[in-house]
Amino acid sequence: MLALVQRVAQAQVKVEGETVGDIRQGLLVLVCAERGDAEAQADKLLGKLLKLRIFADEAGKMNRSVQDVGGGLLIVSQFTLAADTSGGNRPSFTQAAAPEEGRRLYDYLVHQAQAMHPVVATGQFAADMQVHLVNDGPVTIPMRVRP
């Protein structure tokens, strides 16, 4: 699984002008299932997200997790994270999971996150979404969890 994690002061997702998910301080997680991914990769990714120490402690060092600061998770599906641009100017998305499998793993990740963390918001799978965020830092971290 691929993820692009952004530490945010706030973030929201809109679909057709309506807000479908929003958080204050926390992590905006753009996520993509790749071919061959399974629940194990989603579980490992979630474990890393909840423990990733990228929030400031009293000394101003990145030493606290989203759980430590009581922040939210905004999880948004984004198959374009699997883009391969090595072959030309038009990206290939052949490494992304098939849409049905991508949806299944996205839904699984969200369900697990909701069971383990008190504030979880989402985008809408396969929708044309507008993502608004205030990146705090900025801090943006790419993550890949392999099968």
Catalytically annotated residues: 78-80
HSE on the CB side for 116, CA within 13 Å?
Answer: 17
Whether 135 contacts 65, CB under 8 Å = no
State the DSSP code for 22: E
Residue with tokens 């849409």: 99
SS3 84: strand
Nearest to 29 by CA among 100, 111, 127, 122: 122
Q: State the Cα angle at 65 between 104 and 78, rounded to 5°.
A: 30
